[in-house]
Structure 1
Amino acid sequence: MKAESKFAGVLLSIFALIGMVFFVGFGAFFLLLMGKIDYIALLITVGIVLYLLIVFNILHFFQTKKRKIIFGSIAGAAILISTIAPLKDVYTHLIPTVDAEVDISKYEPFSQFGKVTTLKEKATLQLTEDLPKLDGATALYPLYAAIAEATYPEKSYPSYDSEVMVSTTPYAYENLFSGKVDMIFAAAPSASQKKTAEQKGLELTMTPIGREAFVFFVNQKNPVNNLTVDQITDIYMGKVTNWEQLGGKDDTIRAFQRPEDSGSQSALQSLMKGMPMMKPPSEDIVTGMDGIISEVSQYRNYKNAIGFTFRFYSKEMVDNDQIKLLEINGVAPTKENIRADIYPIASEFYIVTAGTDNPNVEPLIEWILSEQGQALVEKVGYVPNKN
């Protein structure tokens, strides 16, 4: 009888073990799906404690009060230690964040919000038909929306589907390559975008229409105010990993990046001049330009973070006071310094075409390059072409 009881106890222990493994495995799978990695240790600890509790009961281990106290103390301590990471995660997400999102619809041509920059006088070019279809980078949308309001007939131009839309740099290039739009306003194409155009037999024509600063920024709490170009490239190569190496506090550098083919990521790759860039963890690749500003500025994050964007977007469209733009080689990214050609990471932005047959594309480009068009570039907030 005693042997049978012992066999039953072993059998129950095995079933308990199978149940614990199933419980922990199933729970860990869902935690991974939800990105809650910090909770897995707690799940495993609870599973083991429950399993031992069942087994010790089967084996009649808790026959004395002392054993119950010892088990309870060890189990409680294990669970308490494994809750540290989840509690930290909960606390982190209770801290408010800074909203860096831009309502792009307020920049639509002829919008009721009045965000579109206008000329005092009527534009010398007035298009009534065969309107070129425009697309481009988010940061340049206020400019080409203003161009459309100056030269296109008054009507509604939804930013998501009209002759004047904005779909971000990667998708704007895709729309240009597929013939959905006639011209885009963007930074220079990336190497892969050039290759795609070549494979499709398209000849890209890039017309510079203004100049802009590529800027790097940190959280307002970061004591570092200036970096050199070499220091930035060292950061993104992974050679410099701590702010203390740059005159800041002892804290690991969290260097955010953007997805491939985005305008700002292409600008970073251009700055690197072929030097190998470190591969960031997936959580440090931020989709939108508003996203990268939000990540660096939000209160829960990140005195140790650094990000990049374009001056106009960060100062004119977002103007988030929780970030600060860094001086580069001791020079601030101001319009005056871009105009004087002393800010070291200023570059041209373009109208890019790929062989459109729209008869009004060339007249529109000529007008944008004219004195009146360049005055509008200036008034919107960009630096016009050099005279």
Structure 2
Amino acid sequence: MRKTVIITAVISFFVFVNVFLYVTLTSRLGNNYSGVSQTKMVDVARYLPFEETSNLAKTGSSMHFSSEDDLPVLDGAAALVPVYASVIDSVYPEGSVTYEGGSFSDDNKYGENFAKDSVMQYQNTIRGYDALLEGSVDLFFTAHPSENQMKTAKEKGIEIELVPVGLEAFVFFVNKNNPVESLTTDEIRSIYRGNITNWKEVGGPDRSINPLLRVKNSGSQTMMEKFMENDMIKRRSIFAVFGASIGYSFRYYLSGMVANDNVRMLAVNGVYPNAQNIRNGLYPLTSSFYVVFKKDNPNPNVRKLVDWLLSPEGQRLIEACGYSPITSP
């Protein structure tokens, strides 16, 4: 009898624990508008130059490098892989993108098997910017570098040049079931300073807000710190996982590269970040993206390629990649 009671008690305890975890965690996370896209790996295989199945812009170019030219090595932030891969596909000779082992690896999450002599690299913002300063990359496609990255270049005695070549929107996003459709810039800043902590304070449900953060020195985090005037929370509360999330990124990265049907972009100050509102300047968080290079780079094709990017042909390519041109193509 005593043994039966003990077994029953143990079973009851485990049932209670499982029910408790489901009610307080699993169920809430499944129904609290928190299915917001975390940072995802870019599927680089979709953007490989000279591959028939690649999702690249093909608008044509009157400028073409040959295998005899000194070919600039290109790298960039995850959000801009389609741009510089399309540039290579349009301007560079076939065979200039090479891989360790002879082919692109399915495990190549961060460009690990692009060969050293490949004109395309993918090391993402932090490692790619370091490679630019070290000299293994000639042109880096990115949002504006962070203060730390600019400081590092100065400490190394390196002068860099930043040339804006396109426009992109910095966006905030929530789960598609979150009824909040628009926030003001003041409300967003209040959320990320910890002053607004519940969605009901901005017209939403009575649920706590889970403000997602990005990696230091990444393009999106640098943009966020600039937007927040370097006054924002450094880390989330340990209880934030129970809240309904809000995150931030760049528009095309979110909507085109890691598209997630469960995520919805927010309007800011009542203006939605569509292509028209970015181009005409109505969306308030529109910013340039850049090609960055060392001023003393001796390769004449670096500036030649930058000039082409600013030409009508280059701007048409940027527009075809899903971004807004900085000048009318």
TM-score, L = length of structure 2: 0.83
2:227 aligned to which of 263, 271, 275: 271
Q: What letter matches 2:246 in structure 1? A: I
* 3-state SS of 1:259 partner: coil
Q: Deviations over 1:302-327 (max 9, x none)?
A: 87111111111122223321111000
Q: What is the total number of aligned residue pairs between the two structures? A: 304
User: Contact (CA 8 Å) 1:132, 1:361: kept in 2 or not?
Assistant: yes
Q: Deviations over 1:137-186 (max 9, x none)?
A: 11101011111111110126255422112221111111112211111000
User: Contact (CA 8 Å) 2:142, 2:290: kept in 1 or not?
Assistant: yes
Change (3 A) 1:89 1:148: farther
Give the number of the structure whose alpha-carbon radius of gyration is greater. 1
Change (3 A) 1:277 1:91: closer
Q: What letter matches 1:273 in structure 2? A: E
| Within-5 A mapping of 1:71-150 | 80-86=15-21, 102-119=42-59, 121-128=60-67, 129-150=69-90
* 3-state SS of 2:192 partner: helix
Change (3 A) 1:71 1:113: closer
Q: What letter matches 1:207 in structure 2? A: V
Task: State how far apart, in whole Å, the 2-side matches of 1:80 and 1:115 are.
Answer: 50
1:378 aligned to which of 304, 319, 325: 319
2:147 is aligned to 191
* 3-state SS of 1:353 partner: strand
Q: Deviations over 1:170-204 (max 9, x none)?
A: 11111112211111000111111112111111112
Task: State how far apart, in whole Å, the 2-side matches of 1:227 and 1:386 are.
Answer: 29
Q: Deviations over 1:2-38 (max 9, x none)?
A: xxxxxxxxxxxxxxxxxxxxxxxxxxxxxxxxxxxxx
2:287 is aligned to 347
Q: What letter matches 1:126 in structure 2? A: F
* 3-state SS of 1:313 partner: helix
2:310 aligned to which of 357, 365, 369: 369
User: Contact (CA 8 Å) 2:210, 2:243: kept in 1 or not?
Assistant: no
1:169 and 2:129 are equivalent in the alignment: no
| Within-5 A mapping of 1:1-387 | 80-86=15-21, 102-119=42-59, 121-128=60-67, 129-155=69-95, 157=97, 158=99, 159-160=111-112, 161=114, 162-280=118-236, 304-354=244-294, 355-386=296-327
Change (3 A) 1:336 1:91: closer
TM-score, L = length of structure 1: 0.71
Task: State how far apart, in whole Å, the 2-side matches of 1:338 and 1:377 are.
Answer: 14
Q: Deviations over 1:28-65 (max 9, x none)?
A: xxxxxxxxxxxxxxxxxxxxxxxxxxxxxxxxxxxxx7
Task: State how far apart, in whole Å, the 1-side matches of 2:260 and 2:286 are.
Answer: 21
Q: What letter matches 1:344 in structure 2? A: P
Q: What letter matches 2:219 in structure 1? A: G
Task: State how far apart, in whole Å, the 2-side matches of 1:255 and 1:82 are.
Answer: 28
Task: State how far apart, in whole Å, the 2-side matches of 1:172 and 1:327 are.
Answer: 32
Task: State how far apart, in whole Å, the 2-side matches of 1:244 and 1:305 are.
Answer: 13
Percent identity over the alignment is 38
Task: State how far apart, in whole Å, the 1-side matches of 2:212 and 2:282 are.
Answer: 26
Q: What letter matches 1:108 in structure 2? A: L
User: Contact (CA 8 Å) 1:222, 1:303: kept in 2 or not?
Assistant: no
Q: Where does the alignment leave 5 or more consecutive residues of structure 2 unmatched?
A: 100-110
Change (3 A) 1:80 1:380: closer
| Higher normalized contact order (CA 8 Å, seq sep 6+, divided by chain length) | 2
